[in-house]
Amino acid sequence: MNRKTSIIFITLILTGCVILTGCTSTPPLGQSAPPSPTPTPEPTTIPPAPEKTPTAEPASEYSIFDGPVTQPPAELEVSVSARKDPVYNQITVVFDGGKGQQLLNSINVRVTTSDGIVTEQPLPPNRGAEIAFDGSKGVDRVQVAAYYKNGASYLILNQNVGQTRAGIITATPTVASAPVTSSNSLYDGPVTEPPKNLMVMVDVIKDPVYRVITATFRGGHGQSLVKTVQVHALLSDGSEVTKELANNIGSVAEIQGTSGNDKVQVVVFYKNGEQYKISEKVFGPRG
């Protein structure tokens, strides 16, 4: 290798070193290298707390027994009566029938005793059917709901029953004979049952404490054909009292009785001019 070639070779080596030095140069003293870019963290989304749905208080279910007594239309009318035994406190509920009997689906009876016990039983919709409840020594409440095949329902009875004898007639040697009816032919003669299409029922009781005689209209097939109902009492003191009883189920007529024997008669007058004495009872001092 001659001198000229050696100079060229050395020059190439130095040139290469300079280039390498420029690529790997460090920053001047006192200067720090620019910081590497820090990766931006992804924003963290916090799910919102679930909203608390307020829990509604369960509403008390409305019952037909919470409503008022409602008289069904004439074609749906039926009658149910209740009485209470004064000794054993047993309550007997009886289906008395009516024009709408064949359209009934069911009857439900609820008894609430004076000590707060509530009992319900179904009453078969057959005329004369009866069910019994254990009553209390106080005044108990009897309610009757009628449900029809067309979907309608009515509270047809809401009655308080106490310790009354409900028409029981007890003959004893110490009780005087019943008062004799006056000569008024309207109340003379035997009790006569009207034809089926005219039949109605009236319950008569005498309170054993206050001696009040109460007649209650219970309806029946002939209800819409009734013109008027008369309740006639011949009292033990010789006086006579007559009260009219409306032909609406549950209608009441009251007569102040006496501490002796009182005779009570019920006469029904119909729009076709016929009349029938459908009831005659004698009540002693205790009913």
pLDDT in tens, 218-251: 999 899 999 999 999 999 888 899 999 999 999 9
**Same-domain check for residues 116 and 211:** no
Give me the residue label for tokens 């309550």.
91
Regarding whether 154 and 117 lie in a shared domain, the answer is yes
Q: Is the pLDDT of residue 210 over 90?
A: no
Backbone angles phi, psi at 51, to 5 degrees: -70, 140
The answer to the question of residue 74 being in a domain is: yes
Instruction: Look up residue 253 and give its two tokens.
Output: 């007529």
Last residue of a domain, one of 108, 132, 163: 163
**Spatial contact of 65 and 155, defined as CB atoms under 8 Å apart:** yes
Domain coverage including residue 112:
63-163
Residue 75's CATH number: 2.60.40.10
The pLDDT score that the predictor gives to residue 135 is 92
Task: Kindly state whether residues 155 and 176 are assigned to the same domain.
Answer: no
Of residues 101 and 172, more confidently modeled:
101
Q: Would you state the structure tokens that stand for residue 215, as one six-digit string?
A: 């007649």
Same domain, 222 and 140: no
On whether both 158 and 181 belong to a single domain, the answer is no
| pTM, entire model | 0.42
Cα 219 off chain centre by: 22
**Structural domains of the chain, count:** 2
pLDDT of residue 238: 85
**Range with lowest mean pLDDT among 179-183, 196-200, 270-274:** 179-183
Neighbours of 65 (CB within 10 A): 16
Q: Is residue 239 assigned to a domain?
A: yes
Q: pLDDT tens-digit profile of 33-76?
A: 555 555 665 666 666 666 655 555 555 567 899 888 888 898 99
